């Protein structure tokens, strides 16, 4: 992934879309499109003769954010509700448990209005609802993306013809 020298077929490159600084992750993008075979060839990297490298900390953070994006795409591109819905359910569940605990404290006669745990419970419930809503919207957007372009969320690697039994 670190070397910028890469060779691909025209068909392979036309099958992917590169946004931002995702050029570093072309092999990952191609794998997401269904490629199963790569060949690596060693090349001779000569030391820099002129100028200085522009690689700095800000570029490292861009690479890390792009890497997180690739990990998300690889696992959840076709099922974003699994990510956001799961995160929302956990967040909502923790918020509900905290609020139930605060309700029990209130029933027992304690003053709960000055406690930060009440605010945390309310924020977690609201955040959980928002995560689930984002998951639903992402699911709708993913379906719209595939259906508007007549794309399938899968690729057929090989079609095996059916053997037809003789009829009498």
Question: Domain-by-domain residue ranges, the chain?
Answer: 1-76, 78-153
- What CA–CA distance (Å, rounded) separates 139 from 33? 19
Residue, of 15 and 84, whose pLDDT is higher: 84
Q: Over the chain, what is the mean pLDDT?
A: 85
Q: What tokens were used for 121?
A: 């419970």
Find the range with the poorest average confidence among 35-44, 52-61, 112-121. Answer: 35-44
List Cα–Cα distances, 117 to 39, 91, 101, in angstroms. 55, 14, 9
**Mean pLDDT computed over 29-43:** 76
Residue 116: which pLDDT band, with cuts at 50, 70 and 90?
Answer: very high
**Mean pLDDT computed over 12-27:** 80
Question: How is residue 167 annotated by DSSP?
Answer: P
- What CA–CA distance (Å, rounded) separates 140 from 85? 13
- What CA–CA distance (Å, rounded) separates 31 from 25? 10
Q: Is the pLDDT of residue 151 over 80?
A: no
**Mean pLDDT computed over 50-76:** 84
Cβ proximity of 112 and 123 under 8 Å? no
Q: What is the 3-state secondary structure (H, E, C) of 91-104?
A: HHHHHHHHHHHHHH
Q: How far is CA 19 from the centre of its chain?
A: 15
List Cα–Cα distances, 157 to 19, 29, 35, 37, 107, in angstroms. 26, 17, 10, 12, 62
Q: How far is CA 163 from the centre of its chain?
A: 40
């Amino acid at each position: 992934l670190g070397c910028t020298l890469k060779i691909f077929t025209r068909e392979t490159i036309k099958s992917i879309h590169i946004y931002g600084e995702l050029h570093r992750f072309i092999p990952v993008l191609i794998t997401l499109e269904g490629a199963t075979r790569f060949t690596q060839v060693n090349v001779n990297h000569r030391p820099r003769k002129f100028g200085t490298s522009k690689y700095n900390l800000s570029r490292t953070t861009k690479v890390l954010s792009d890497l997180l994006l690739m990990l998300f795409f690889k696992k959840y591109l076709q099922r974003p509700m699994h990510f956001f819905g799961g995160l929302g359910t956990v967040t909502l569940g923790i918020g509900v448990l905290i609020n139930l605990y605060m309700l029990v404290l209130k029933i027992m006669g304690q003053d709960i209005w000055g406690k930060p745990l009440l605010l945390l419970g309310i924020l977690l419930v609201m955040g959980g609802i928002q995560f689930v809503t984002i998951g639903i919207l992402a699911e709708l957007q993913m379906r719209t993306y595939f259906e508007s372009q007549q794309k399938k969320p899968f690729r057929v690697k090989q079609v095996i013809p059916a053997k037809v039994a003789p009829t009498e």
